[in-house]
Structure 1
Amino acid sequence: MAGMIRTFTKRFFIVLTSIVCVCFLLSCLVPYLTPARWWPIGFLGLMVPYLVILQVFLILFWLITKPRWSILPLLTLSIGYKQLQSLFATNLKSNFSNVKIEPRLRIVDWNVGSLVGLSKGKDKQKMIRKQIADAILNLEPDIICLQEFNHSYTQGRQADNIGLLVKEYPHYFFSEDYKKGNGFFLYGSIIFSRYPIIHTGKIQYPGKRAESLIYADIVKGKDTVRLFTTHLQSFRFSTADYQDIDKIQQQDKELFDASRNIFKKMKVAFTRRGIQANIVRETLDDSPYPSIICGDFNDVPNSYTYFHIRDNWQDAFLQKDFGIGRTYIALAPTLRIDYILPDEHFNIHQFDMVDEDLSDHLLLVADVSFKK
């Protein structure tokens, strides 16, 4: 009997090791296969952190039981080193200093979640917009990139969200992707700058309800930087979708319908982000100035979206932080989907992700300077 159990256990772990390694190797193709054509591969990108953890467990298991079998997951991880490099930051984390050092540029990037906070109480939501602005102002940034930002020119001070920051940051460019009425409600991404903006641009993504990629050419002294920001296609999960996710986790009897609904939205998002990532990369390549892109890519570091947009640019998190990172607080502990990516013309001096408990995304802040 004991022999049968040992044989079964050994075969089970051999099969498990093989499946996990094959899945990880397939995930290594994610950066090279556009989800605009190969959308199913996008699901593997989301699984990478868990596949890595499983392989580490299997390596330890086989080292204890049959050391030669540990070679398979070890070899697999070594083949996928690019995935590991984009996933894990390996720096000794230091405290972020609020003291600004000239001539550095301090950049804040934040998906502000429509400036209504996490509370469902309308009275609290009215206060959040001011708290969000105060959290940004306390960091004294030079450039601010915000996504899911809204503003009204006609509803009065309670909806004048540009007015919260314009005194300190008189130069700004707002994408105004969604408009309702004659200035009654506007929504999109916005760039604020302490320094003059000499040129702006907007590239609208294709499709209905699509947002855009915007940029601003900002002059500080003798230097000009092109600052991009964007909010790529999200899964657009509604309250009902989150309830469906709960059903899946609880193996509810409505599991099939819930899974189908979630699957459809994820397929659309993977496909559209693949198209958008191509547009972003082409636009970045055309920049005549040293450039930085900030934003909510709605995709993880092991995705086509991330690899294609980043290309050979720097990732402030990987340069100055430690661990996997998490910028979106819902669903899973491995969703780093917001980024600050400077090109090779910049030094990155410090970086931090700050949870102000005012949005479902963390605030990102980085100090950079031009290489001389």
Structure 2
Amino acid sequence: MKHHKKRSLIHRFIFTANLVTAAFLVICYLAPYIDPIYFWPIAFFGLAYPFILLLNILFFFFWLIIWRRPAWISLFVIAIGFSIHRNSFGLNMPYNLDHKPDNAIRVMSYNTHYFRPMNKRSNDDSTKHQILELIKEEQPDILCVQEFYSRKRGKFNIKDSILSILDTKYYYVKKIIGDEYESTGLAIFSKYPIEAGKEIPFSSDKTDNTCVYADLNIKGNIVRVFNIHLQSISFQQQDYEYYQKVRDSLSTDRVLTRRIARMLKRAFEKRSIQAKLVSEAVKSSPYPVLLCGDFNDTPVSYAFQTVSKGMNNSFCQKGVGFGKTYGGAFPNFQIDFILYDNSFEAQTYKIIPQKLSDHFPVRSDIILKE
């Protein structure tokens, strides 16, 4: 009798935990639609989405094995979020990723971390060389680079190196920080003629977080290509060290926890404003739109939902498996995207598993419809 009562209490506890976890997953589904400027804590649920989804999957299988009736709770909650799951998990069949279809435009987006190794601020010839070799191997027709770095001359004249590698003369580089000797910013390289380029600044601050576009003449059709870099969290070394400490030993510090929460809140709110600016620029484009960039936010976020509204996501159309494009110390999620309007159709999508930057490059072969 006592054993039966004890087991009943354990089941009740697990059932209650399942209900709470299911409710959290529903809140995750709301995160892309609630502006963090008005209620910023909702954005944390977007970040936690993969872990909360995993818990619900575990609960489902637990009840399926132990007692079938409650299994429907997590199954139902998982099922109603199908459109959310599609943005994070590529549900397509595997195929030949390296074959470029005829008439396809190979688009590549890459946050290169200034062509330096992760967690380093100094120039590194080896990393720069490996990134350039990767670009040479992929041969994108359109290359969008975030955290672009180049010098005017010498072995770190990366602009001229990329032009030579791609055998083109067409580029648009927006210098954000720097001087006549060296600078950083955003860049668009193209094998097609560029007729115009412009920046859509996010603020007056000196930061590489901005948006640029270039109008490309692709076989007589003008296409507007956006390259965006939304607000970074701007973690410092102490923040990464603290995150590592919490992950390894579950040891927390109130002051540092509040500091990180403030930084995340600030980034959520700034990305909200920036995403609206990008969305308006995309809507006002007189030409078909391709949009690439580092969103610094996941598919389950207000920033992604705002920018991608009315657009197609190449990962959803052709991606396979879990989309992880960030390889830094913070949780590894998909934060780099290639989007396009209905004038295009994706044929391939690939996350290139080369850990040279804190981001993995992504590329997609896209056809411009007749």
Which 10-residue stretch deviates more, 73-82 or 21-30?
73-82
How many residue pairs match? The answer is: 366
Aligned with 2:322 (options 302, 324, 331): 324
Q: Deviations over 1:216-241 (max 9, x none)?
A: 01012122211101111111112111
Over residues 84-136 of structure 1, what are the superposed CA-to-partner deviations in whole Å (9 max), with x where a residue is unaligned?
222221111213225x444221111111011012485968x122212211210
C-alpha displacement at 1:356, in angstroms? 2.2
Q: Quick one: distance in 2 between partners of 1:53 and 1:119?
A: 30
Matched with 1:77 is 78
Quote the residue 1:44 is aligned against. Answer: 45
Say if 1:237 and 1:321 are closer, same or farther in 2 by CA, change over 3 A: same
Among residues 244, 247, 267, which one is paired with 1:246 in the alignment? 244
Distance 1:344 1:189, change over 3 A: same
Tell me, which stretches of 5 or more residues in structure 2 are unaligned?
none
For 1:159, the aligned partner's letter is F
Q: Distance in 1 between matches of 2:114 and 2:121?
A: 15
Q: CA deviation at 1:26?
A: 1.2
2:186 to 179, 189, 193: 189
Contact 1:176 1:189 survives alignment (8 Å): yes
> 2:198 maps to which residue?
201
Q: Which residue does the alignment assign to 1:90? A: 91
Verify the 8 A CA contact 1:35 1:270 in the aligned structure 2: yes
Provide the C-alpha distance between the structure 2 equivalents of 1:308 and 1:122, rounded to a whole number of angstroms: 35
Matched to 2:171, the amino acid is Y
Deviation per CA, 1:158-209: give whole Å up to 9, x if none.
3311111123231111121223xx3233211100011110111110002534
1:342 corresponding residue in structure 2: 340
Contact 1:247–1:255 (CA under 8 A) maintained in structure 2: no
% identical aligned pairs: 29
The 1-side partners of 2:236 and 2:272 are apart by 22
Match of 2:357 in 1: 359
**Whole-angstrom CA distance in 1 between matches of 2:35 and 2:121:** 41
Separation in 1 of the partners of 2:353 and 2:33?
33
Residue aligning to 2:33: 32
Say which of 270, 273, 277 aligns to 2:271. Answer: 273
The question of whether the paired residues in 1 share the 8 Å contact of 2:149 and 2:158 is answered with: yes
Name the Cα RMSD after superposition: 2.0
Matched, 1:175 2:174: yes
Matched, 1:105 2:102: no
TM-score (norm 1): 0.93
- Secondary structure at the aligned position of 1:145 is classed as strand
TM-score by length of 2: 0.93
Q: What residue identity is the alignment partner of 1:266?
A: L
C-alpha separation between the residues in 1 aligned to 2:10 and 2:84? 30
User: Is 2:155 aligned against 1:158?
Assistant: yes
Aligned to 2:64: 63
